[in-house]
Amino acid sequence: MEIRTLTAADLPACADLAESRSWPREPPKWRLLHEAGTVFGIDAPDGLAASAVVVAFGPVASISMVLVAARYERRGLGRAITERAVAEAGDGAVWLHASTLGRPLYESMGFVADGGCQGHVGRFADDGGPGASPGTLAEVLAVDRAAHGVDRRRFLERLGTPFVVDGGFAFGVDIGHVTVIGPVVAGSEEQAKALIRGVARTVAGEVRVDPDFRFPALAAWLRERGLVPGVAAPRLVLGGRPLPGECSMRFAPFTRAV
C-alpha cells in the first residue's frame, strides 16, 4: 500500500483510526501536529489503514501517532510507515514514546530505551500553593531552547498563552477531551508545581500531565492532587543517541507526541 502525506482534510479519518484502536479522537491535537509537522497515512478501500506523525526541530525529531487499523495488522504496515517517518526525520536524533505492543517493533528497528513518562489525568484538587501567572511567548523561548537544545518556536506559538515563573513555563492546551498541561519546563520541582497549579486553576474540567520518570515525587504529588496514573510510556531513541538540551529542566512533555 502506498504511503502518502496527509492533509488537513484527512484528519477526521485519523481521529476515526485512533478511536478504532481505543485511543481518544483528539481532533485539536491532530490539527496541531499537522500544522507543526508531517502526517503520513496509508489508504485502504474501507478507510485509513495506518498513520504516523513526524515533528522535526532541526537536529531532533519526534515520531508519534503510529497506528494501524486492527483489520490490517500483521501486514508490515506499522514498520513501513515508521520507516517512512524515520526517513522524513533525516539524520538527527529521533525519539518516540512506545506502547507495550509497539515497543518490540521499534527495538527491532534500532530504537533504544531512554527514560519515559506516565500520563496522569483527573480533576486537579488545589492544595493552595503558589501558582504561576500568564506570560508571553517571548519569555519562554530561551528557556525552552536551553531545556530542549533546539528552536521550537513554530510549535510553541501554536499552544496559546504560557504560564511563567522565573526560568520556567507551562502551557494548558485543550485537546478535545482534556486540557494537557505541558510542556512543563522548570528549574526546580517547586517551580513545576507552581506552573501546574497556575494552569489547572483556569480549567473547569479534567487536566492531564505526563511527568517524566526522572521526577517520581512530582508524580506522587499529582496523584495526591487527584490525578489518576495511566499506562507508563517508555521513551526510545533511535540508535540510543543522546538528546540535546538540559534534561533536568524537562519535567513533562506537551504530550507523548512532542
Spatial separation of the C-alpha atoms in residues 211 and 214, rounded to whole Å: 8
Q: Would you tell me how many other CB atoms lie within 10 Å of the CB of residue 37?
A: 24
CA torsion 195→196→198→204, rounded to 10°?
A: 160
In this prediction, residue 110 carries a pLDDT of 98
Name the residue type at position 183: P
The domain 3-91 is placed in CATH, from the list 3.40.630.30, 3.40.50.300, 3.20.20.70, 3.30.1330.20, at 3.40.630.30
Alpha helix segments (H runs only) across 45-181: 77-89, 103-108, 141-148, 153-156
Asked whether this chain's domains 3-91 and 119-229+244-252 adopt the same fold, the reply is yes
Spatial separation of the C-alpha atoms in residues 168 and 47, rounded to whole Å: 43
Q: Examine the pLDDT at 48 and tell me if it is beyond 80.
A: yes
Read off the pLDDT of residues 19-46 as tens digits, 9 standing for 90 and up: 999 999 999 999 999 999 999 999 999 9
Read off the pLDDT of residues 172-206 as tens digits, 9 standing for 90 and up: 999 999 999 999 999 999 999 999 999 999 999 99
Strand positions, DSSP E, the chain: 3-5, 38-44, 47-57, 60-68, 93-97, 111-122, 133-134, 163-165, 168-174, 179-185, 207-209, 228-238, 250-252
Question: Which DSSP symbol is given to 204?
Answer: S
**Domain spans of the chain, in order of start:** 3-91, 119-229+244-252
Read off the pLDDT of residues 95-143 as tens digits, 9 standing for 90 and up: 999 999 899 999 999 999 999 999 999 999 999 999 999 999 999 999 9
In this prediction, residue 104 carries a pLDDT of 96
CATH for the stretch 119-229+244-252: 3.40.630.90
Residues 3 and 41 sit within 8 Å (Cβ to Cβ): yes
